[in-house]
Amino acid sequence: MCGRFVLTMPVDEMARLFDAVPSNDLPPAPNYNICPTTAITTVTSDGGQRRLRAMRWGFLPNWYTSQADGPLLINARAETIADKPAFRSACRTRRCLIPASGFYEWTKGADGARLPWYICRPDGAPLAFAGIWQDWTPNDGGDPLSTCAIVTTAANAAMSAIHHRMPVILTGADWPLWLGEAGTGAARLMRPGPEDALRMTRVGTAVNSNRATGHALIAPLTN
């Protein structure tokens, strides 16, 4: 799964990288501890026009009567996404990219303690997670809320040493297909990345708190 991630790119850099027009309500960056239910930056495409859009991280199916009406859907499994009632329409017609600089995963120590790892590209280049999205309208007739989930797949051999799942990470060449700009066949993109595509570094336990902030969260552990 992917339950926390990092985004350090400023808006203008993301706009250039994804050739997208930014909305004016994007969450601030850098953010070294992005948590579920908060607003995150996504990339969508409408008729070939890409936009950077803020969305709630936590997909809300249209039958939810409130944001807390059912399980918190922050991830969607690639293996079942096309069949799950919550996701099947979005995976066909509402796919997005979720920019990231890296993400966190945890292992357990001998004493049961949660040991965090920061996972990013070896060269520090940005990541683009595969995502799906949906606008959800509350029953009270309030304004629609754009919501999203990160698509995950089985971990490759390198990542499986830490966790059995990982985000689907898309290269720039894959973005048009995933966003629906290059025809059909996006399902083939939902696979683990190359073994050498990510670097995994143990970091301090400060990030175990969802209130922790700052660059020090991704600093390698030095003991």
Residues identified as active-site: 2, 105
Helical H segments across 9-55, by residue range: 11-18
Which residue is associated with the tokens 């930014």? Answer: 22
DSSP states of 188-210:
GG-S---TTS-EEEEB-GGGGST
Q: Which of 75, 84, 70, 31 is nearest to 57 (CA)?
A: 75
Looking at residue 15, the DSSP 8-state letter turns out to be: H
Q: Would you say 188 and 173 are in contact if contact means Cβ atoms under 8 Å apart?
A: no
